[in-house]
Structure 1
Amino acid sequence: MATIVKTPAGTWKAVIRKTGWPTNAKTFRTKRDAEDWSRRTEDEMVRGVYIQRSGSERMTLEKALQRYLADVTPTKKPSTRKAETTKAKQLILNLGKYSLAALSAEIIADYRDSRLASTSKHGRPISNNTVRLELALLSHLYTVAIKEWGLGLTFNPVLNIRKPRPGPERDRRLAGDEERRLFAALNDYSNPMLRWIAVIALETVMRSSEITGLRCHQVNLQKRVAFLPDTKNGSPREVPLNETATEAFRDALDNPTRPNDCDLIFFGEPGKDGKRRPYAFTKTWGLLKRKLGMSDFRFHDFRHEGISRYAERGLSAQKLAALSGHKSMQQLKRYTHLRGEDLVRDLDALPKRRPTA
């Protein structure tokens, strides 16, 4: 039987001591609540289904996310670490005071709906994909807590709610004279590294982080390949270089301003610690495209543009995937956006067939 005593604070404390089980105690506002909990807990012990929930009841989501960021996030790629830190801040701001045991599917669904109805600090609506990724982080935290942390959690509440539908696929392509105006502006910019990076991004469809992280020994101009030992999908790959990309790399490797102690092809100024890191151009890129009236053109859109152009020129899906590093045709399809007018020309070039009678 449980021992139930009144505390000096006027609450009721229930203590259960049962052979084969750890001592369990909990405090309640009323004696009846203490008795109900004691009967329910002892019954679960008799049936062998009791789970010690005190860990999940004491740990708030804020503390759990801090532990996740300290233990789990460091095992992931740098870009993922940064993204998870940002998502965790948002979850903590809205749900951080709840305990893991108290966070129900209903509470999480309310969070989903309120986030989808809100706007960012720039006044733009929060996208479905942003909320999906926040919920994915929360869900994986519960998975880790259930499997590894021994907090007494029995289920993942995120699995019981609807996830926002993925947003529309991005299909921004260079149109009209945008390419000419963009590269004219890049040619006029004082630091030629930005133009070289843009040319390489368009011609090789590499990600900006893959380009700026390249070291001199990773590019072989004779074989015309760039070797990427660590990519977003976790697999290394060799990127073939066409003549335009090869020339851009040749100019970059011959850059007379490169310090002798730096093997980065695209290097930045020394930091406070004296170390040089990859060239950071995000701010400059933003100013440049706004000046050109192309604020909606992201640097990553060079990847969309390049993949679509190679597809239009007849490169097979298998070779496109080898070039871009996509592991599935479905992933590749999201980056391939063929223009209707180009398909018309392709259709007209096909051999004519006789009309059926």
Structure 2
Amino acid sequence: MASFQKRQGAWRAIVRKKGHPSQSKTFTTKARAQKWARQVEDLIEAGHVGEGGIPTLDELFGWHLAHLDKTSDRGRKNFTAANNMKKGLGKETLISELNYLKLQVYCETRISVDGVKPSTTLLDALFLSGSITTGVVEGRLHADYKTKVSGWLSGLKRGGLIGRPEDRERRPTDAEIELLLTHTKHNRALRTIRYNDVIRFAIESCMRLDEICTLRWSDYDAKNGTIIVRLRKHPTQKTDQVVPLMGDCQAIIDAQPRTNEKIFPFNNESVSNGFRRICDHLGIVNLHFHDLRHEGISRLFERGYQIQEVAMVSGHRDWKSLKRYVNLRPSDLVKRDRDRVAPI
């Protein structure tokens, strides 16, 4: 039997049923409280209520974020996905109210109104799926929800509303790199963040921006020409990796002032946003900071390094994942072949 209490402008629903623990939840309106109570009673009868009753999206995402806080360092991306879904679907929406149609409308709105790509809505959908998995594993949700969300994701993928990002083939030209380096070297306004050094290091080291901004002096081995990249990205787990410093990497590191425990003590988001503004100012179109990593990896292949050698620098575990970063120019391959083969 359900009862309702009004407290400080909110409504608390309480469901009591013999043989089951009492369930309660607070909502901003009495109508939502009544709807929740009816659903709890129905699901108790069907044996489909986990610990704590039917959660709202706000509660479900809170549990998942707490779980991820112990197991992941994706940080901002997790909170962004949670906030996007709570804003688009309503944070007081009950998980039992979700269905394919609501997710379809959500993804369509994100794409048409917010201007995002299906690869972005995929991140939101995967966050929802992960939240449901956490709820099931922790005994808060019935396992049926995992089957439901799997079907929803399949439908969204079929409809083109979620999808993997397209492989980028953008490499900066020599002229663009020269323009970037000249501008960042002589523009005094950019000296707070040493863009000239960071850009050159990104290409030479093939590191991700967040890896560059977390490098520490204590992990730098000048004698052996290596540095430890802590918690390097991996599909299933993050591990520390000793990385060889290629090209001018050591010279760039040695030129940095030792005023911080980090070699490049900059916020990676600030660097990324600033890089975008620099490109806009210089008229360089569609170049991302991450493309500098692509450039560096491609250069290593062009210099004749083998897959396993390049992977030691880039941190990739297999050829399939490394291949998407390699964008060799056909003309470079022809030139190398001509240099190696004597004329007949």
1:182 aligns with one of 156, 180, 190? 180
Q: Does 1:310 align with 2:273?
A: no
Say which SS state the counterpart of residue 230 (structure 1) adopts: strand
Say which SS state the counterpart of residue 238 (structure 1) adopts: strand
- 2:35 corresponds in structure 1 to none
- How many residue pairs align between the two structures? 308
Q: Does 1:92 align with 2:86?
A: yes
- 2:117 corresponds in structure 1 to 127
- 1:60 corresponds in structure 2 to 56
Question: Could you list the runs of 5+ residues in structure 1 that have no partner in the other structure?
Answer: 8-12, 29-36, 45-49, 120-124, 269-276
Contact kept? 1:101, 1:153, Cα under 8 Å: no
Q: Distance in 2 between matches of 1:107 and 1:287?
A: 37
Bigger Cα displacement from structure 2, 213-222 vs 277-286: 277-286
Contact kept? 2:60, 2:132, Cα under 8 Å: no
Q: Distance in 1 between matches of 2:104 and 2:202?
A: 40
Q: Distance in 2 between matches of 1:39 and 1:251?
A: 68
Matches within 5 A, 1:255-270: 255=257, 258-259=258-259, 262-267=260-265
- 1:333 corresponds in structure 2 to 323
Greater helix share, structure number = 2
Say which SS state the counterpart of residue 236 (structure 1) adopts: strand
Structure 2 CA distance for partners of 1:41 and 1:223, relative to 1, 3 Å: closer
Say which SS state the counterpart of residue 229 (structure 1) adopts: strand
TM-score (norm 1): 0.75
Q: Give the CA deviation at 1:54.
A: 8.5
Q: Does 1:242 align with 2:246?
A: yes
Say which SS state the counterpart of residue 307 (structure 1) adopts: helix
Matches within 5 A, 1:1-357: 17=18, 21-22=19-20, 50-52=47-49, 55-57=52-54, 59-69=55-65, 71-78=66-73, 80-96=74-90, 97-119=92-114, 125-152=115-142, 154-156=144-146, 157-161=148-152, 162=155, 163=157, 164-190=162-188, 191=191, 193-233=194-234, 234-252=238-256, 255=257, 258-259=258-259, 262-267=260-265, 280-348=270-338, 351=341
Contact kept? 1:312, 1:342, Cα under 8 Å: yes
Say which SS state the counterpart of residue 326 (structure 2) adopts: coil
Contact kept? 1:56, 1:153, Cα under 8 Å: no
Structure 1 vs Structure 2: percent identity of aligned residues?
Answer: 23
Say which SS state the counterpart of residue 58 (structure 2) adopts: helix
Q: Give the CA deviation at 1:140.
A: 0.6
Q: Give the CA deviation at 1:23.
A: 7.2
Q: Distance in 2 between matches of 1:53 and 1:149?
A: 6
Contact kept? 1:201, 1:303, Cα under 8 Å: yes
TM-score (norm 2): 0.77
Say which SS state the counterpart of residue 237 (structure 1) adopts: strand
Q: Give the CA deviation at 1:348.
A: 4.3
Q: Deviations over 1:274-322 (max 9, x none)?
A: xxx7895344323322221114211111100000111122211111111
Alignment-mate amino acid for residue 236 of structure 1: D
Contact kept? 2:57, 2:86, Cα under 8 Å: yes
Q: Give the CA deviation at 1:171.
A: 1.4
Bigger Cα displacement from structure 2, 110-119 vs 225-234: 110-119
Alignment-mate amino acid for residue 213 of structure 2: T
Say which SS state the counterpart of residue 51 (structure 1) adopts: coil
Q: Give the CA deviation at 1:145.
A: 0.7
Q: Distance in 2 between matches of 1:266 and 1:15?
A: 58
Pairwise CA RMSD of aligned residues?
Answer: 3.5
Contact kept? 1:108, 1:158, Cα under 8 Å: no
Structure 2 CA distance for partners of 1:186 and 1:22, relative to 1, 3 Å: same
Q: Distance in 2 between matches of 1:278 and 1:16?
A: 53
Q: Distance in 2 between matches of 1:39 and 1:340?
A: 64
Considering only CA atoms, is the larger Rg found in Structure 1 or Structure 2? 1
